Structure 1
Amino acid sequence: MRVATDIGGTFTDIVYIDEQGKVCVNKSHTTPPDFEQGVLNVIQKCDISPEEVKDLSHGTTVVINALTERTGAKTGLITTKGFRDILEIGRGNRPDLFNFNFKKPKPFVPRYLRLEVEERMDYQGNELIALKEEDIKTCVDTFKKEGVEAIAIVFLHSYINAEHEKQAKALVEKLMPGIAVTASHEVSKEWREYERTTTAVLNSYVKPSAKTYIDNLYNKLEEMDIKCPKYIMQSNGGTTTFENAKEVPINMVESGPVAGIYGSAMLGEMLGENKVIAFDIGGTTAKCSLVDGGEVKTTTEYKIEKNARFPGYPIRVPVVDIVEIGNGGGSIAWIDNTNSLRVGPKSAGALPGPVAYQKGGTEPTTTDANLIAGRLSPKNFDMDVDMEKVRGAIQEKVGDVYGINTEEAAMGIIRVANSNMLNALKLVSISKGYDPREFALVAFGGGGPMHAAALAKELNIKKVIIPLAASVFSAWGMLMTDLRSDDIQTYRVKLDNPDFDAINAEWEGLEEKACQDNARKGISREDVYFQHYLDMRYIGQDHTVKVKVPNDPMSAENISEFIEAFHREHEQNYSFRLDESGVEIVNIHLASFGRIEKTPIKEAEILPYSLEEAIKEIRPVIFEGDGTLDTKVYDREKMSPGMKLEGPAIIEEVSSSAVIYPGMKASVDKFGDILIETGV
């Protein structure tokens, strides 16, 4: 049996697949601040024998929570003399050029804890000034006095020669045993010192809390006699061991969300759809990502907390290219100072939750609005729902403000939420040169199936795929992944007359290192496979485009394939290409995978119910443009492959509801997924 657990803002999910390929799911409420308890609770709700568990994968929000809530460790920075203010200076470009009240991001390390040492490498990695160890000792003395809990070491040009960083780290660990230390070359070997510094600092900042969390989870799982190999989901779309995750926790910054993206790619492959947009609505956020040709795209341009007015904090590690907005089931509806209705980004979360949860919540949320619209049923909640309280909150906070009734106010909340989500879907498709009409929309999470059909219609998307167990699909995605690690090395070379032997030797060195790393994780060499990427640009440009290139050695015979791949990717991203301009490589990027044995997914069983017998009830549901319609509500657990129906309809399961609009058709495929034809 293979098991995966995923912690969300509101619920903790579990998916497990037995030896016959049968998929079972469950969920439990998330338990902040002791998140590992939610994992134990959801495991205990299931009929799982510890000795049958072959491996366990886990997705967690502990890293992103520590960053956004500023609950990480007190961190110090040791850097090259003259560069202590790199975090303060940052980048000159900013998203909101005409904002006279603009403020730069506040560094995670205050200036008095940013200390300098004498050392220097040049841009080719040659030593100019030897590391002065007395300076390191002085830094350590200061950190001890100030009660520093974690240290980042970032020296200029260490991406090309890390010898000084290695010496400094060894000395710090000797002088401060047990301290969490990150040397920048361990997390990023790319140039751009500001981005490399923030990445190293943020890794150190979350390292103690991540280690505590992982150790607690590991020990409690062991106490439950779950002694199988344990993996954690990374932001790059692959998994890693618990031990490795403790050393580089920044790789878990988007641990939970990306599993659903990867799962969408795998599901698309199973259904013959290699172009999909993954769309995940949870309790707190909505997330989406585009999969083209079956490939999950990654980026090293990721920034936390970036928005239209704030540049955010760059993290220079591979992260699945994902757009995330504060719009989920628990997102609060509110009126701004211009008397406009807004939904999110503030969320009611798991506590107090929507008004419907009756845990003290008083602010109306998207979930409450969907209850009033009839898209959710109070009978489908695992607690008593006081509909009068829900109606009262929406009427007081929204309806009375605009002089409208409760139903109109609820639909206003839903329309604003849909508008926010639509913008996110456009950011991953239209804004990047992709036509959404060529893609299928894979909708999952607790709220994805409820909003997907309306959004697909707006974007003229023909097909919506709602996976089996949609509300826990991110956990399912983890069971489809392999171990993954990324090695990115700055390696500048112009392609007008390259040294092919030197370039290929660089690839071979990275591949050999990857095989050795996987061997330490118990993966044999024959189960390791690679994907090659190059960060390329036109000569004279500043920034690069990541290009997937052939794994074959580069040669005079095939170099045109590499250059053409760059031209195509550049045109896709920026709508133009410069065929006459010279091209250069800036970074070599090797993605290595350790293959994990997977259980084939079993086709869904034919159940002894007809379509009519699957109808739970007929209830009034409000649809935009059509008003209130008597709508058949189907029990998904009684639906079998081959069943077909027409909208208006709702298909309910324990933790989500799929809304099929009038004029749309829905069917159940052989794996139990719901396929909606939008009719556009």
Structure 2
Amino acid sequence: MTQSTFRFSIDRGGTFTDVYAEVPGKPEFRVVKLLSEDPQNYPDAPREGIRRILEEVTGKAFPKESFSAAAVEWIRMGTTVATNALLERKGARTALVITQGFRDLLQIGNQTRPKLFDLEIRKLDLLYEQVIEVEERVRLLQKKEAEGNREKAEDTRLEIIEGTTGEQFVVLAKPDLDVIRPKLQGVYDSGIRALAVVFTHAYAVPDHEQWLGELAREIGFTQISLSHEVMPMVKMVARGDTTTVDAYLTPHIRNYLDSFRAGFSDGLESSQLLFMQSDGGLTGADHFKGSNAILSGPAGGVVGYARTTSIKNFNRQLPIIGFDMGGTSTDVSRYGTDYELTHETETAGVRIQAPQMH
């Protein structure tokens, strides 16, 4: 069946943006390369690339400020918006809500010293401005002590529950929302709208985080990242860092998406908008968030050359080395026969526990 609408694939880098378009009704394509930031000539580089190609192919005028995307079937984009915001520390103002006694946990980290003999250690700025400690605590029960502790719990009226992992936990303290409310209100009044909530065993007992999230929404916070939703894993440091990254970057991504959509008079209602994630997969714009966007641009490059140099097309036997050189940075990668993923990395001094190209 003949294609009747345009299809756009876009790589938005830190310096340049490349727009590739499949032209409807013809076995050909168009490519536009332009500066990612040129506010004197256009408000948004990907949208400007789309506009230029539509004008060139259709011969019709499309205004720079806003135009219809009725002729666009889908847009797929890899972007370094999140990466650059993390590197330059230009994300949203964020507060950390954490179990009492762990306020310095993410700052201390895992105590690794990658530059053991460096005489001048420079620590990057934290992603969060304020910390609220919450008196909540659950403790994991070992199998051997579970039954004995259940009897003890009945005597002391402690609550024993089964976590989502099937393990037994004793609830030592539940968060007092009446105590927490004025603290959250103070953070909100200071202008902060993003929260990262990290409780010790939330990966298996998410109730306490959920209660706090509901309270934060009542107060008016617009970005609430709960660790059991962002990355429900045991390791609290990596889970906490990933949740903080999500809270810090997601509003920045949302602002970019809103700005991008606003440039289309129809809001892209009839066009599919997908973004490349750090693991090399595509996701809808509404699900594109900070914790899975760090390597959006580089991952797209790996998928691109892996597909275009496939064994099926070239009957090759050896791995391929990819060299993705942009105006801001260069990414070097290797592809054998499968994509290699890692689930814990460090980017810009921040540990991230999420699937990423490795």
Q: Secondary structure at the match of 1:153?
A: strand
Alignment of 1:653-664 (within 5 A): none
Where does residue 32 of structure 2 map in the other structure?
26
Contact 1:136/1:172 (8 A) holds in 2: no
Match of 1:64 among 72, 83, 88: 83
Where does residue 79 of structure 1 map in the other structure?
98
Sort the Cα spacing of 1:206 and 1:79 in 2 relative to 1 into closer, same or farther, 3 A.
same
Contact 2:8/2:50 (8 A) holds in 1: no
The 2-side partners of 1:316 and 1:33 are apart by 35
The 2-side partners of 1:197 and 1:187 are apart by 9
The 1-side partners of 2:356 and 2:70 are apart by 34
Contact 1:276/1:292 (8 A) holds in 2: yes
The 1-side partners of 2:219 and 2:118 are apart by 46
Q: Secondary structure at the match of 1:24?
A: strand
Contact 1:6/1:58 (8 A) holds in 2: yes
Instruction: Please tell me the residue identity of whatever aligns with 1:319.
Output: Q
Is 1:148 the counterpart of 2:192? The answer is yes
Where does residue 320 of structure 1 map in the other structure?
357
Is 1:102 the counterpart of 2:121? The answer is yes
Q: Percent identity?
A: 29
The 2-side partners of 1:116 and 1:7 are apart by 39
Where does residue 204 of structure 1 map in the other structure?
247
Contact 1:16/1:25 (8 A) holds in 2: yes
Where does residue 265 of structure 1 map in the other structure?
306
Match of 1:172 among 185, 209, 216: 216
Contact 2:261/2:267 (8 A) holds in 1: no
Where does residue 120 of structure 1 map in the other structure?
137
CA displacement, residues 261-283 of structure 1 (integer Å, 9 cap, x when unaligned)? 01111122232336212211111
Contact 2:273/2:284 (8 A) holds in 1: yes
The 2-side partners of 1:225 and 1:186 are apart by 28
Instruction: Please tell me the residue identity of whatever aligns with 1:258.
Output: A
The 2-side partners of 1:36 and 1:148 are apart by 27
Cα deviation for residue 298 of structure 1 reads: 1.5
CA displacement, residues 338-393 of structure 1 (integer Å, 9 cap, x when unaligned)? xxxxxxxxxxxxxxxxxxxxxxxxxxxxxxxxxxxxxxxxxxxxxxxxxxxxxxxx
Cα deviation for residue 221 of structure 1 reads: 3.0
Match of 2:72 among 25, 50, 53: 53
Where does residue 189 of structure 1 map in the other structure?
232
Cα deviation for residue 91 of structure 1 reads: 1.6
Where does residue 176 of structure 2 map in the other structure?
132
Ranges in structure 2 where 5+ consecutive residues have no aligned partner: 1-5, 59-68, 141-166
The 1-side partners of 2:38 and 2:81 are apart by 10
Cα deviation for residue 107 of structure 1 reads: 1.9
Q: Secondary structure at the match of 2:201?
A: coil
Matched residue pairs, number?
A: 309
Sort the Cα spacing of 1:32 and 1:89 in 2 relative to 1 into closer, same or farther, 3 A.
farther
The 1-side partners of 2:36 and 2:98 are apart by 39
The 2-side partners of 1:238 and 1:172 are apart by 31
CA displacement, residues 207-253 of structure 1 (integer Å, 9 cap, x when unaligned)? 222111101112213448783111111111011111111xx222111
CA displacement, residues 554-604 of structure 1 (integer Å, 9 cap, x when unaligned)? xxxxxxxxxxxxxxxxxxxxxxxxxxxxxxxxxxxxxxxxxxxxxxxxxxx
Where does residue 250 of structure 1 map in the other structure?
291
CA displacement, residues 266-315 of structure 1 (integer Å, 9 cap, x when unaligned)? 1222323362122111112110222122x11111222112xxxxxx2111
Cα deviation for residue 168 of structure 1 reads: 1.1
Cα deviation for residue 122 of structure 1 reads: 2.6
Cα deviation for residue 136 of structure 1 reads: 2.6
The 2-side partners of 1:216 and 1:10 are apart by 19
Instruction: Please tell me the residue identity of whatever aligns with 1:153.
Output: V
The 2-side partners of 1:48 and 1:122 are apart by 64
Where does residue 578 of structure 1 map in the other structure?
none
Is 1:279 the counterpart of 2:320? The answer is no
Contact 1:221/1:227 (8 A) holds in 2: no
Contact 2:14/2:84 (8 A) holds in 1: no
Ranges in structure 1 where 5+ consecutive residues have no aligned partner: 306-311, 322-680
Sort the Cα spacing of 1:222 and 1:297 in 2 relative to 1 into closer, same or farther, 3 A.
farther
Contact 2:241/2:352 (8 A) holds in 1: yes
More moved, 69-78 vs 268-277: 268-277
The 2-side partners of 1:241 and 1:83 are apart by 35
Instruction: Please tell me the residue identity of whatever aligns with 1:116.
Output: E
Q: Secondary structure at the match of 1:28?
A: strand
Match of 2:19 among 5, 14, 18: 14
Cα deviation for residue 104 of structure 1 reads: 4.0
Contact 1:36/1:216 (8 A) holds in 2: no
The 2-side partners of 1:36 and 1:67 are apart by 22
Where does residue 260 of structure 2 map in the other structure?
217
Instruction: Please tell me the residue identity of whatever aligns with 2:352.
Output: I
Cα deviation for residue 21 of structure 1 reads: 5.0
Alignment of 1:435-474 (within 5 A): none
Cα deviation for residue 179 of structure 1 reads: 2.2
Q: Secondary structure at the match of 2:18?
A: strand
The 2-side partners of 1:159 and 1:260 are apart by 33
Larger Rg: 1
Sort the Cα spacing of 1:36 and 1:4 in 2 relative to 1 into closer, same or farther, 3 A.
farther
Q: Give TM-score, length-normalised by structure 2.
A: 0.80
Sort the Cα spacing of 1:127 and 1:240 in 2 relative to 1 into closer, same or farther, 3 A.
farther
The 2-side partners of 1:219 and 1:174 are apart by 28
The 2-side partners of 1:230 and 1:183 are apart by 26
CA displacement, residues 36-79 of structure 1 (integer Å, 9 cap, x when unaligned)? 61112211221356444221111222211211111112111111
Where does residue 8 of structure 2 map in the other structure?
3
Q: Secondary structure at the match of 1:100?
A: coil
Q: Give TM-score, length-normalised by structure 1.
A: 0.43
Q: Secondary structure at the match of 1:197?
A: helix
Instruction: Please tell me the residue identity of whatever aligns with 1:109.
Output: Y
CA displacement, residues 474-516 of structure 1 (integer Å, 9 cap, x when unaligned)? xxxxxxxxxxxxxxxxxxxxxxxxxxxxxxxxxxxxxxxxxxx
The 2-side partners of 1:39 and 1:100 are apart by 44
Where does residue 157 of structure 1 map in the other structure?
201
Where does residue 153 of structure 2 map in the other structure?
none
Match of 1:288 among 332, 344, 350: 332
Instruction: Please tell me the residue identity of whatever aligns with 1:256.
Output: G
Contact 1:53/1:226 (8 A) holds in 2: no
Sort the Cα spacing of 1:48 and 1:181 in 2 relative to 1 into closer, same or farther, 3 A.
farther
